[in-house]
Structure 1
Amino acid sequence: MSERQRVNREDLSTTAPRRGRRPGSPNTRAAILAVARQRFAQQGYAATSVRGIAAAAGVDSALVHHYFGTKEDLFVASLELRVDPRVIAPTITAEGPDRAGESLVRLLLSVWDDEESRLPLMALVRSIFEPEGKALVPEAFGRLILGPVSEALGLDEPERRMALVGSQLVGIVVLRYVARIEPLASAPAETLVATYAPVVQGYLAGPLP
């Protein structure tokens, strides 16, 4: 190859304009995830589209599906949790409706007491107090956990009951893990299960005022 041919080939490889959207790469995957997290947090699940995420990330929507699968898969990935929240509902309801309250509290504590699981969850909870992230936790908690639990248990007044359950569980998280209020912060998990499981079970299956 002559020197002139070599130079011309290098010129084409470095200066020729790229057409279309950006091809896939590890950086592209990270960019998609960052955009998805922002959109889901600001707009909520229903108002966020894969097409809109792809456009904002500068890729084709097919590439989003290639990396993440469905819109729900992308939403779960954007939460950046060690535990897929979609597996929680079957775990909670596996022992039947009479044990669901205990299962919920016990699972909550087991996940949050694990330091590696707690770190990303802390970031997620703190987003509640940020205007740009206010939709993320309600969507994650309600859509992926409480909604499926309610459906599996066949609850009457499901929205009311699960709102009460959610208020109790979020209260435990904020006081025990975020604010570190004693004696809640250092109480043994079994003590908290014995304390809160009957309350949560009452919200799930007991009479409501």
Structure 2
Amino acid sequence: MAGRRSGTPDTRGEIIAAAREAFASQGFDRTSLRSIARSAGVDPALIHHYFDGKDALFVAAMDLPLSPRERLAEALDVPRDQAGVAVIRTMLTVWDDEAYQPSLLGVLRSLTSGTAAGTELRTAFVEGMIFPALRQEIEGGVSERAVGLVGSQIIGLIVARYLIGVEPLVSMDSEELAQLVGPTIQRYIDL
């Protein structure tokens, strides 16, 4: 199975899809280029034709079909005293969407991996996209301390509900969860 397959398939897209699934289910560290190539039905050398190594493939695979900054801007187009519930509601809506979940799980697993790629992703994704969006989009602005506390609550909820599968968080209605967790987020926003 050397090189490109016959016909004109979207080989690059198939590699990205296989990588996205592998990173989501196994995380960055336990995913190999060989396993991705096998899943995509291509020779491993073809991955190197399209991507400059595993890190570059990861970045391409985690190209989420949404902009966190745009979603937060939409969510936070509310009065300041409603921002806590709005942030949680939006986060749950995105995470509950099956189209986004594999990519998001891959990002989450990699963020918590302790690898150089995880550190780079944390810096780029959380500190470079999510935190600035929270600071900019909340009416009247918020302190660095508040942003860190909001981030810790969101990450904890995501890990508990979507990665570990803690009940009753998994089976709880998203709106009910937003109403329960939102006031805690609001308290941090109001610091």
With normalisation by structure 2, the TM-score equals: 0.64
- State the AA in 1 paired with 2:74: T
In the other structure, the counterpart of 1:134 is 118
1:109 matched to 2:92? yes
Q: Displacement of 1:81 after TM fit?
A: 1.0
**More relative contact order, 1 or 2 (CA 8 Å, 6+ apart):** 2
1:146 matched to 2:131? yes
1:191 matched to 2:183? no
Q: What do the CA deviations read for 1:136-194 (whole angstroms, capped 9, x no partner)?
A: 1342123222212212333342x111100000000110000000011111111122011
* Kept after mapping to 2: 8 A contact 1:99/1:201: yes
Unaligned runs of 5+ in 1: 1-25, 35-40, 42-55, 58-75
In the other structure, the counterpart of 1:119 is 102
Quick check: which one's helix share is greater? 1
* Kept after mapping to 2: 8 A contact 1:125/1:137: no
In the other structure, the counterpart of 1:60 is none
1:155 matched to 2:138? no
Secondary structure in structure 1 of the residue aligned to 2:149:
helix
Q: Displacement of 1:86 after TM fit?
A: 2.6
Secondary structure in structure 1 of the residue aligned to 2:161:
helix
What percentage of residue pairs aligned between the two structures are identical? Answer: 30
Unaligned runs of 5+ in 2: 1-10, 20-27, 29-50, 53-58
Q: Displacement of 1:77 after TM fit?
A: 5.9
- Which is greater in Rg? 1
